[in-house]
Amino acid sequence: MRKTLVLFLVAVAPQVASGHVVRHNSIPEVYWGTWSPGATCSADDKAAFVLSAKGYVGPAGNCSLDYLSETAAPKGAIYSARLLCPGTGTQKKSVVNLIFRSDADGVISAGATFASLKEHRRCAAIDPAAKK
């Protein structure tokens, strides 16, 4: 009986305790569209951003997705997007990270770090940039 318990703990326990990150090459379709931190969407909202399968358009610029990491969490998946943004003028390309997770229907938390996550609501109008 003890041998069985020890064998079980050695074989199963490390798998249960370890986190698992899955890497994707595109953003899930459920997140495509325009997201605004305000209660309503407006064309002049500087903090709004657009997510598409392979890109991001927003305050950080017009960026392409390098890769997306998905990590399981108790309240659903947490995504971390590594974005490659072109430089302007003499600036080199920059790397921008965007963390996002679903909070409720039509609401996500998004930001560059966990400390900077803010609620964003999906805008009703579909932005043409979201269909890349």
- SS3 of 20, please? coil
User: Mind listing the pLDDT tens digit for each residue in 72-124?
Assistant: 999 899 999 999 998 776 778 899 999 999 998 889 999 999 999 999 999 97
Residues in the chain: 132
Note the pLDDT of residue 130. 45
Domain residue ranges of the chain, discontinuous segments joined by +: 20-131
Q: How far apart, in whole angstroms, are the C-alpha atoms of residue 101 and residue 110?
A: 7
Distance of CA 99 to the CA centre of its chain: 4
Alpha helices by DSSP H, listed for the chain, are 2-17
Give this prediction's pTM.
0.75
Note the pLDDT of residue 93. 86
Alpha carbons within 13 angstroms on the beta-carbon side of residue 48 total 22
Q: 109-117: which pairs have CB atoms within 8 A and are 24 or more residues apart?
A: 110/35, 110/49
User: Mind listing the pLDDT tens digit for each residue in 10-49?
Assistant: 454 444 545 689 999 999 999 999 999 977 788 778 889 9
Note the pLDDT of residue 128. 46
